[in-house]
Structure 1
Amino acid sequence: MKLAGAPISWGVCEVPGWGFQLEPERVLSEMRELGLTATELGPQGFLTRELIESYGLSLAGAFVPVVLHDPGHDPLRDLPEEGTLVLAAATGTDGYDARPALDAAGWATLLANLDRIAAALGSRASLHPHVGTMIETRDEVERVLADSSIPLCLDTGHLLIGGTDPAALVTSVPSRIAHVHLKDVDARIAGQVSGGGLSYTQAVRAGVYRPLGQGDVDVAGIVAGLDGGGYEGWFVMEQDVILSGPEDRPMEDVRRSLAFLDGVLGTG
């Protein structure tokens, strides 16, 4: 199992005002202390390959929000030239608490751009359905699957909050899954997001993401299904958190998630 961490599990996020931001050195040293061997990059400029490798870790990929629906914008110019790219269909504004509706022209542009990216980059790029982006809901995910060739990043948390059963995708479209973000979710809080009672940021602050095995996602079943289907990509552990200060200890929740995975895999 190719297992990686992500800076967002330490509260490091590209959204302005997203809580206290830890220093890269603390994040990487705690990843190493926990036994992780790889990480995603996190926000642009937070980590470099050289810094990651200086802590004995490797690079698992980069989360890249990119505008795909604007006919006057070429998203290929925004993409890094190397590495595994996890794309989110950005709205063009900061944050994930609101998004516009796509019209027919916007959909046509987005789908055409996804096919251009898939043709140019193959499985090196995947689309990450994500709350507060242009691809969030089950209908939107299904339309991308039906009308484009882009592989998916299976983010078990964002999919569930948006109304898609991630376990069903493992069964129905295993060949379209190129990257995995493992999250567990408090379904009660997630329902408040989809029902409009909480913004995404409020939900993260309220603890919508739980250590693996402590929420309502069938993480064990999803991991088993992917393994049985021949998945060979990265499993990136992500538990989005908002920190209040340097005294917070996000690594303890990552430790709990690792212990859960050890039990699932029979290695603990």
Structure 2
Amino acid sequence: MTPTRPTPPPKTPLPKVAGAPISWGVCEVPGWGHVLDPGTVLAEMAALGLTATELGPPDYLPSDPERLRAVLSGYGLGLVGGFLPVVLHDAAPRDETLAEADRVAGVLAAGGAEVLVLAASTGLDGYDERPALTDEQWRTLVSTAAAVRDVAARHGLTTALHPHVGTHVETGEETERFLADSDLPICLDTGHLLIGGGDPVAIARRWAGRIGHVHLKDVRASVAARVRAGELTYTEAVGQGIYTPLGDGDVDVASIVASLTEAGYRGWYVLEQDTALSGDGAEEAAQPRRDTARSLARLHELLGVRGIREGR
């Protein structure tokens, strides 16, 4: 009788790890800072061993699907998704909001993306002011977010609502309220939640099943406290280095990753460290790659992935 060979254990899918142009100082906010060219940013992502990126701000990468795929494939990169900050709380521009969501979702889907990362924009430039909402405006925000989700779904994309500093879903309390009032998943941004006074560890534990996307950041809590106290604007805090490579700040990234792993999270981990560059010299220009390399090494350590590139 031929001996029966043991059935090999099922392979665990490799964690999906991506980069984002904001880690290289590329941001949609007017006057944010020096913007590196896409070739530099994508080449450095690829050199670190990353295989995918988020889209970045409008028109940074080509909006024509064929050109977009060609540019990304030239660096061996795929497209994860893209950030869409639009007004959700005001019914007046709803048609314009949904039209923009349809346009962006079409670009993302044609580029091979999976996720539309939605943010509840105030309608003001930047992230330094945040007017309060009425209950009626909140209900409009929730219903418009659902409508955006439906638009994106027609393109084959999932939508995750991103709690974000300077938007109408920023704090831990607002994040919990959105999760209670909506059926959309969220993008767990570990840095923005802490800056907004929330507890990203608690959110990851309590709402692991509702987390559809992850932006991993680490933050200096002392600088975040000054933002909450009104001593610094968010933009000023970024300039003062509120974000650090994973493991250098005060976010318990290890507990967050452990909670998500235990819950069976299979989505993307996007390394994001909001950076603003002055364009002053080669040393500053080299910092995004160095910091992202350190974050990637720490994440791979937490995920048990071997064979990383240090990006030196």
TM-score by length of 2: 0.83
- Alignment match of 1:56 (pick from 76, 98, 120): 76
Structure 1 counterpart of 2:166, which letter?
Answer: G
Tell me the equivalent position of 2:125.
94
Asked if residue 182 in structure 1 is aligned to residue 216 in structure 2, the reply is: yes
Asked if residue 115 in structure 1 is aligned to residue 137 in structure 2, the reply is: no
Structure 1 counterpart of 2:300, which letter?
Answer: D
Q: Is the 8 A contact 2:116 2:152 kept in 1?
A: no
Tell me the equivalent position of 1:20.
34
5+ long unaligned stretches in structure 2: 1-14, 63-67, 307-312
Tell me the equivalent position of 2:43.
29
5+ long unaligned stretches in structure 1: none
Cα separation, 2, equivalents of 1:53 and 1:169:
35
3-state SS, counterpart of residue 251 of structure 1: helix
Structure 2 counterpart of 1:109, which letter?
Answer: T
Which is further off, 4-13 or 136-145? 136-145
Q: Is the 8 A contact 1:117 1:150 kept in 2?
A: no
Q: Is the 8 A contact 2:205 2:256 kept in 1?
A: no
Structure 1 segment 68-217 matched on structure 2, within 5 A = 68-74=88-94, 75-79=97-101, 80-81=105-106, 82=109, 83=113, 84-121=115-152, 124-217=158-251
Structure 2 counterpart of 1:183, which letter?
Answer: K
Q: Deviations for 1:62-94, whole angstroms, at most 9, x for unmatched residues?
A: 011111011112222211233310011011121
Tell me the equivalent position of 2:267.
233
Structure 2 counterpart of 1:236, which letter?
Answer: V
Cα separation, 2, equivalents of 1:210 and 1:176:
26
Query: What percentage of aligned pairs have identical amino acids?
Result: 56
Q: Is the 8 A contact 1:118 1:149 kept in 2?
A: no
Q: Deviations for 1:137-191, whole angstroms, at most 9, x for unmatched residues?
A: 1221121111111110000000111111111111111111000000000000000
Tell me the equivalent position of 2:310.
none
TM-score by length of 1: 0.96
Between Structure 1 and Structure 2, how many residues are aligned?
A: 268
Please give the root-mean-square deviation of Cα atoms over the aligned residues, in Å. 1.4
Structure 1 counterpart of 2:86, which letter?
Answer: V
Structure 2 counterpart of 1:164, which letter?
Answer: G
